[in-house]
Amino acid sequence: MLVQGEQGSSAVTSRAPAEVLSASARTGHSIRALIAAWLGSFTDSADTRAAYGRDLRDYIEWCTRRQLDPLEVRLPEVQMYAAELAAATNPRTGRPYAASTRARKLAAVSSWYTFLVRAGAIDANPARDAARPRYDRQHSNTASVSVQQAGQMLAASSQYQHRSLGPQGAALVMMLLIDLGIRVSELCNANLADLGQRDGMRMLTVRMKGGKVRTRPIPQPLVPVLDAYLAVRPQDGDPEALVVTRDGKRINRHQVYRLVQVVAARAGVPMPKRITPHSMRHAFNTIAREAGAPLEDRRDALGHSSAAITQLYDHVALSLSRDPAHLVAAATVAQRPPEGHDRPVSSPDEESSR
């Protein structure tokens, strides 16, 4: 792909993505180098950098399958990619991509093209005017759990003989997710050196999105769980990682994702496959709010850039618990006659004579 001819034009042939990435743009830089430079601009968030990297990889592979030069596509091709995303199934969940996910993928493509324009590799961004999926930014599809279900999941994790983590590691992971509300990436990236002590309390330094660093306390109920894990943690494994598997490798997000679903099922949580590590952050916020934690404290603990994001979590919980349907159902139940004492139903003629 992208074979430069004598006239400076490029011809597309059926080649592997690796060959596409090695091809040169008119600036002399390879596509791989241009992608790396673009991703390098997201210095404040490793999560955003990783997500955009995956999104652009999918787009490059899509171009390759259709023998399209990613540096020469125009708006119709980008819109075709958007249409195929709308009809595609997320291989991880088996369900169609959420509108927010499709919008992020198109935003990644457009961001890369904007960078290429600035770098002089292309003249215009073909994704700039592509139609983006519309979705309600005040709505979240993330499933959550109640405080009772969270407690049941913690109890189930401490008894779960996890093949890679053992009960001590599984219990620690679940307590960090639920009781601290940390992101799965923050959990996987946590190091032994991040543990410490201050003001008579154990603490964990958490590296959050956007380059934020927060010192979070290890709540007293979590201390025995942490110590039990550290006592059995493999000493010959990764010398830096806080949570490692029994073979000494740093835990990864896929293992955490699977652990959460298995523990949810063992705890009897309905539809456990809908429960994710992010569900635990929603649970943390809901439980903290119901216990009286102020919005600003919850925002700071969750590492949100604004209180509006934390309030979105609140909206998800309150929209169900405060829906007027509960009041209407209670009122109609109160008006129902006792069983065996059904009131006779009047005929239309009787009603009209009243």
Note the pLDDT tens digit of each residue in 262-303: 999 999 999 888 899 989 988 888 888 888 888 888 888 887
Predicted TM-score (pTM) of this structure = 0.60
Residue 312, domain extent:
147-321
Average pLDDT, stretch 328-336? 67
Number of H helices, E strands in the chain: 15, 5
Range with the poorest average pLDDT among 68-77, 106-115, 176-185, 321-330: 321-330
End-to-end CA distance of the chain: 84
Residue 194 sits in the same domain as residue 306: yes
pLDDT band at 55, cuts 50/70/90? Answer: very high
Count of domains in the chain? 2
Clarify whether residues 192 and 317 are in a common domain.
yes
| Spatial distance between the Cα atoms of 288 and 297, rounded to a whole number of angstroms | 9
Give catalytic residues, as residue numbers. Answer: 183, 209, 278, 281, 304, 313
CB contact at 8 A, 299 and 310: yes
- Give me the CATH number covering residue 313: 1.10.443.10
Query: Which amino acid is it at 318?
Result: L
- Indicate whether 338 belongs to any domain: no
Tell which residue, 13, 271, 310, 353, has the closest CA to residue 140: 310
User: What does the alpha-carbon distance between residue 7 and residue 309 come to, in Å, rounded to a whole number?
Assistant: 52
Residue-wise DSSP of 232-248: HS-TTS-SSBSSB-TTS
Q: Where does the chain show beta strands of DSSP type E?
A: 3-4, 10-11, 195-198, 201-207, 213-217
Examine residue 299 and state whether it is found in any structural domain, yes or no.
yes
With a cut of 80, say whether residue 165 has pLDDT above it: yes
Question: What count of residues does the chain have?
Answer: 354
Same domain, 110 and 152: no
Co-location of 100 and 161 in the same domain: no
For residues 19 and 64, the answer to whether their CB atoms sit within 8 Å is no
Regarding whether 307 and 158 lie in a shared domain, the answer is: yes
What average pLDDT does range 134-146 have in this prediction? 65
Above 70 in pLDDT, residue 188?
yes
* Tokens read off for 289: 């709010």
